[in-house]
Amino acid sequence: MVSILGVLLAWLGHNVLDNMRERGIRAGFDFLFDPAGFEIGEGILSYDAAQPLWRAFAMGILNTLRVAIPSIVIATLLGSLIGLGRLSTTPSLRKLCGFCVESLRNIPLLLQLLMWYFALTSLLPDASDAISPLPGVLISKGGLFLPAWSCVGGGCSWNLPHLEGFGIEGGWSLSPEYLAVLTALSLYSAVFIAEIVRGGIQSVSAGQIAAAQALGMRPLQILRHITIPLALRAIVPALTNQFLNLSKNSSLAVAVGYPELVSIANTSINQSGRAFECIVIVMAVYLTLSLITALLMNLYNARVALRGAK
Amino acid sequence: MSALKHLRTWFWLILAALILWPALNWGVVHAVWTPDLEACRAARGTGACWGVIAEKHRLLLFGRYPFNEQWRPLLASLLILSALSPIAFQKLRTRRFMACGLIGVLLAASLMTGGFAGLSPVPTKLWGGLPLTLLVSLGGTLLAFPLAILLALGRRSTLPLLRSVCTTYIELIRGVPLISLLFMAAFLFPLMLPTQFRLDILPRVIFTIALFAAAYLAEVIRGGLQAVPKGQLVAAQAIGMRHWQAITYIVLPQALRAALPAMVNSFVGIFKDSSLISIVSLHELTGALSLALGGDAEWRSFYLEGYIFIAAVYWLFCFTLSAASRRLENHLNHK
Amino acid sequence: MIHSLFRRTGLAVPFILAALASTPAHAGKTLDAIKQRGNIQCGVSTGVAGFSLPDSKGVWSGLDVDFCRGIAAAVLGDPNKVNFVPLNPQQRFSALQSGEVDLLARNTTWSLSRDASLGLSFTGVNYYDGQGFLVPKKLKLTSAKQLKNAEICVQSGTTNEKNLADYFRAQNIKIKPVVFEGFEASFKAFFSGRCQAYTTDISGLAGVRNKEAKNPDDYVILPEVISKEPLGPAVRRGDDEWFAIVRWTAFALIEAEEYGITKANVVSLKDSKDPNIGRLLGSTEDSGKLLGLDREWAFRAVKAVGNYGEIFARNVGPDSVLKLPRGLNNLWNKGGILYAPPIR
């Protein structure tokens, strides 16, 4: 079977090379050093179109992380709350949390993302009539603007967003694309995490808790020393899978124009025509991300498991 | 205790006042139900315009499929849905599900394709909407199934080379986003085949979904294999069965039965993931929405209603299947 | 029993394939393959008004579409023997490279990098375009140079994205591009107010404004044209016969306009005394022989879709919603730059 597979792969690879040669398509990764030629809307690094393409890819990777990491944090917190809510003794809260879970997890993430983006760009006011819920905070179609603490030269001061030209300038801004991806990813993953948390806590046997009560432990002590450590053992491996899913799902951001890795790769495919190379880069980056996440979570898991065994 | 009860009453009252009442008001009381553009415009902001669904339901559900032939995709969707219905009957018969699904998909696909019995041929690029979503997800899952079984067996094999190949495949596929694989189907697949062979984008996408689903299904099946006691295999070999016979006739049926609820869940996942094919410009359910509303300046203002409609279709489908999967699981546990 | 299931599923694979796959193409020369297949696979856009747009019944219309029909008429004798394959910008080149389409007529800009490194050849130009900006009237803009710090909606995978960066870099103005996967997603975002400006080729801007805006008068096209966008059909590299057929059919349509041959009078002009017309329509000389076609190739093309001027008027000119002026796309002797080499 393995040898058949090997022959098949070799045949496919041979075809690719053959077809590319026949059609005069150039191959190789040298194009990464050519100027990118396109601008990127947002990012952490300073970047302009004259810089080499690899830097555009770096921007894309950082933008992926910039949305994936906060989403992981929000989803975990929110998911734990919903999961606990589903175990609450208050039926109304339980039902509400149950409703959230059932409604969100049965709708494709892509559709939810498009809906959030639509809500943010169509239902919010123009920049000129931005909503200001708090002084210095502006919300409009242009995104969310927050005051930023900036230091120029010697003095530091609050840099407040304000209306200038067409839009809002200054402060710390989050684009609607970013916000839509962040919201959709966090909520979608949160309901899956909620189910994991609920299952994890339910897996702690009643006997353990009864035993702790018999020893005279108070409810909070039981939670801290018995329920949480035991539940974590069941939760962490499943949580790892959710984190992996979340980082892979961040690739859907391409649908709303957030310039993350897949979006940059997509643009590069068009500008350079190097489809194969760009897809290989995307896959390699995601594999690396997956490996790192799995590694970190396994380390954490080892710690949790040890503590539980102590 | 009565204080808590009051609290609960208040909680529901506030929730009702803040969310439920406005939602009801917008979605039902002030809503416009007829495809009347003027009435919809007048109600904008205060009431939903469900008329947009009435106006565009053909495009939303069937995409660009020739208008006069749209009974075919309708029938095809019903065929696939009825092929899926055995799952609701709580019988743990993997074989029957597969056979039903296969017949359903094949009949539906040939009905859509046409070119026989007086049916005019309709090229796959005109397919769209619900039947496309159903075909891609069910077709992809069924195609994935044999590969998934081989991968699951391979991953548990004692041959180190076979094991590592299967493990690598599974982990590789599970480590990359589906969208990168779909890009591969769109851009690279044509280069991988000799020039004589040409595949439409649709079969390419179905193959890709199958390759993707196989990795996930394989893990589910592996879970099922682990649930089969070792003694079963030993016993089978003791009565003179060869290893592969023991696997095919004794171990696999039990493993698949144990894995069935999880496989249904995987299918729900694939069903939701099939929305991604709209990114490689196939107009399945999600893509059909932009097809129906994106190009129409008049109705484009009522996108929200379109989103809600599509979301409701997905929700209904996924919820029903997940519930069926839970019932199967209960059934399995109480056996 | 599982074993038999295995066999059944295994057997099903070829059936599914047979049900879904299109007929495999014939290898070798494109023209032979087309003749054997009985139709031309023509790669078009997924929907750009004036160039290639399907109506609700799936019937395609547009400048690029008519061009494909003209070639089908010249080669196969029937303008309807075309199979239109809608392609997004990302797919278009690999579709041509892989042989999925015989011809790419998808308002594609001819540029050096595309001509030299993508394994394809542009056969000429069927529409001279340039990139511009569409802005809401209420912003009261008069020049693209006022777009400092503006957010500009643009479709990914187009030359527009690159030109945008180049133009504002040259002007030393900072802008924020908001890049969308699809054409429709990009203008939808613009009309929802996400961006202050929308950029694409001017023909596209006119289409978007006149067809997609709720009220076209609320939007204006800025005067700057920031790039040269010669749009033209492309074929796979390495098949010179097919290349020549596509190129010369386009010339024939232009030549027809120059000699006043129209869809309406082409039949009566077959008896014309003008030797140029006689040569073009095949009544006196056989010009098709050199291309591997019969003598009436150009006659059939004009009869099917009309001359270039008629195609223009019908799809993007005065008879269409776009109402674009001829501008550069007029004949060389009428103030434009369309110039067909002599057909003889």
> pLDDT by residue (tens digit) across A204-262?
888 888 898 899 888 888 888 888 888 888 888 888 888 989 999 999 998 888 999 99
Residue type present at position A63: N
Instruction: Establish if B260 belongs to a structural domain.
Output: yes
Give the number of domains in chain A. Answer: 1
Cα-flanking dihedrals φ and ψ of residue B270, to 5°? -65, -40
Given an 8 Å threshold on Cβ–Cβ distance, is A270 in contact with C179? no
Topology of domain C30-128+231-334 in CATH is D-Maltodextrin-Binding Protein; domain 2 (3.40.190)
- pLDDT score of C14: 41
Query: Which domain does A93 fall in, by range?
Result: 53-118+176-309
Of B11, B180, B191, the CB nearest to A283: B180
Lowest mean pLDDT among A243-247, B48-52, B119-123, B176-180: B119-123
Given an 8 Å threshold on Cβ–Cβ distance, is C94 in contact with B186? yes
Given an 8 Å threshold on Cβ–Cβ distance, is A106 in contact with B187? no
Given an 8 Å threshold on Cβ–Cβ distance, is A287 in contact with B172? yes
Of C9, C20, C85, the CB nearest to B98: C9
Nearest residue of chain B to residue C15 (CA atoms):
B106
Given an 8 Å threshold on Cβ–Cβ distance, is C20 in contact with B106? no
The residues pairing with A140 across neighbouring beta strands, listed in sequence order, are A143
pTM of the model: 0.82
Structure tokens at A141: 């179609």
Model confidence at A22, pLDDT cuts 50, 70, 90, reads low
Give the mutation candidate from C30, C156, C222 for the A interface (greatest A CB count, under 10 A): C156
Model confidence at A309, pLDDT cuts 50, 70, 90, reads very low
CATH number of the domain encompassing residue B186 = 1.10.3720.10
**Whether the Cβ atoms of residue B223 and residue B214 lie closer than 8 Å to each other:** no
Give, as one character, the DSSP assignment of residue A52. B
- pLDDT score of B198: 67
Give, as one character, the DSSP assignment of residue C64. H
> For B50-91, what is each residue's pLDDT tens digit?
988 888 888 888 888 888 888 998 999 998 888 888 777 766
Identify all chain C residues contacting A19, using CB atoms and an 8 Å cutoff.
97-98
Using the Cβ of A30 and the Cβ atoms of chain C, whether some distance falls under 8 Å is answered with no
CATH topology of C30-128+231-334 equal to that of C131-227? yes
Distances (CA, A) of A304 to A231, A235, A296, A310: 10, 10, 12, 10
Q: Alpha-carbon distance C120 to C158, whole Å?
A: 17
What does DSSP say about strands A143-146 and A172-174: parallel, antiparallel, or unpaired? antiparallel
From the list C182, C192, C195, the residue with the least C-alpha distance to C133 is C195
Identify all chain A residues contacting B153, using CB atoms and an 8 Å cutoff.
none
- Give chain A's mean pLDDT: 85
Given an 8 Å threshold on Cβ–Cβ distance, is B307 in contact with A118? yes
Model confidence at B289, pLDDT cuts 50, 70, 90, reads confident
Give the mutation candidate from C181, C236, C240 for the A interface (greatest A CB count, under 10 A): C181
Instruction: Establish if B38 belongs to a structural domain.
Output: no
Size of interface B-C (CB pairs under 8 A): 130
Residue A71: its H or E element? helix A53-86
Most confident of the following: A269-283, B26-40, B93-107, B302-316? B302-316
The vertex-A291 CA angle with A287 and A294, nearest 5°, equals: 135
pLDDT, average across residues A155-165: 78
Using the Cβ of C15 and the Cβ atoms of chain B, whether some distance falls under 8 Å is answered with yes
Identify all chain A residues contacting C189, using CB atoms and an 8 Å cutoff.
121, 257
- Angle separating helix axes A261-272 and A53-86, nearest 10 degrees: 150
pLDDT, average across residues A57-64: 94
Residue type present at position C296: E
Identify all chain C residues contacting B198, using CB atoms and an 8 Å cutoff.
22, 24-25, 98-100
Provide the sign of the torsion angle of the four alpha carbons B169, B175, B179, B184, taken in this order: negative
Q: Alpha-carbon distance A288 to A286, whole Å?
A: 5
Given an 8 Å threshold on Cβ–Cβ distance, is C21 in contact with B200? yes
Instruction: Establish if B44 belongs to a structural domain.
Output: no
Residue B81 burial class via C-beta count within 10 angstroms: exposed 0-12, middle 13-18, buried 19 and up: middle
pLDDT, average across residues A178-205: 92
Compare B39 and A68 and report the one with higher pLDDT. A68
- pLDDT score of C226: 92
Residue B188 pLDDT more than 90? no
Identify all chain B residues contacting A287, using CB atoms and an 8 Å cutoff.
172, 175-176
What does R_g of chain B's alpha carbons equal in angstroms? 24
Given an 8 Å threshold on Cβ–Cβ distance, is C86 in contact with B125? yes
**Whether the Cβ atoms of residue B319 and residue B312 lie closer than 8 Å to each other:** no
Query: Which domain does B171 fall in, by range?
Result: 57-333
ipTM above 0.85, yes or no: yes
Give the number of domains in chain B. Answer: 1
Distances (CA, A) of C54 to B257, C62, C119: 48, 9, 28
Give the mutation candidate from B60, B170, B180 for the A interface (greatest A CB count, under 10 A): B180
From the list A250, A95, A41, the residue with the least C-alpha distance to C168 is A41
Q: Alpha-carbon distance A170 to A160, whole Å?
A: 6
Using the Cβ of A122 and the Cβ atoms of chain C, whether some distance falls under 8 Å is answered with yes
Using the Cβ of B322 and the Cβ atoms of chain A, whether some distance falls under 8 Å is answered with yes
- pLDDT score of B195: 60
- Each residue's pLDDT, cut to its tens digit, for chain C (344 residues) gives 444 434 444 434 443 334 333 333 333 488 998 998 899 999 998 888 889 988 766 789 999 999 999 999 999 999 999 989 888 777 788 788 878 899 999 889 898 888 887 888 999 999 999 999 999 998 889 999 999 888 899 988 778 888 898 899 899 998 888 888 778 888 888 988 889 999 999 988 988 888 788 888 999 999 899 999 999 999 998 889 999 999 999 999 999 999 999 999 999 998 888 989 999 998 888 888 889 999 999 999 999 999 999 999 999 988 888 888 898 999 999 999 999 999 88
Q: Alpha-carbon distance C67 to C108, whole Å?
A: 14
At A137 the three-state DSSP class reads coil
- pLDDT score of A24: 64
- pLDDT score of C13: 40
Q: Alpha-carbon distance C158 to B170, whole Å?
A: 36
At C133 the three-state DSSP class reads strand
Topology of domain C131-227 in CATH is D-Maltodextrin-Binding Protein; domain 2 (3.40.190)
Compare B98 and B93 and report the one with higher pLDDT. B98
pLDDT, average across residues B207-228: 92
Using the Cβ of A237 and the Cβ atoms of chain C, whether some distance falls under 8 Å is answered with no
Residue type present at position A248: K
- pLDDT score of B92: 61
Size of interface A-B (CB pairs under 8 A): 124
Kindly write down the DSSP assignment for every residue of C19-45, as one continuous string: HHPPPPPPPS-HHHHHHHHTSEEEEEE
Compare B189 and C21 and report the one with higher pLDDT. B189
Residue type present at position C15: F
SS (H, E, C) A199-260: HHHHCCCHHHHHHHHHCCCCHHHHHHHHHHHHHHHHHHHHHHHHHHHHHHHHHHHHHHCCCC
Identify all chain B residues contacting A98, using CB atoms and an 8 Å cutoff.
none
Q: Alpha-carbon distance C136 to C139, whole Å?
A: 6
Instruction: Establish if A296 belongs to a structural domain.
Output: yes
Identify all chain A residues contacting C181, using CB atoms and an 8 Å cutoff.
254-255, 257, 263, 266
Q: Where are the domains of chain C?
A: 30-128+231-334, 131-227
Q: Can you list the alpha helix ranges (DSSP code H) found in chain C?
A: 2-20, 30-37, 63-76, 89-97, 112-117, 159-170, 183-192, 202-207, 240-258, 275-281, 297-305, 308-315
Using the Cβ of B304 and the Cβ atoms of chain A, whether some distance falls under 8 Å is answered with yes
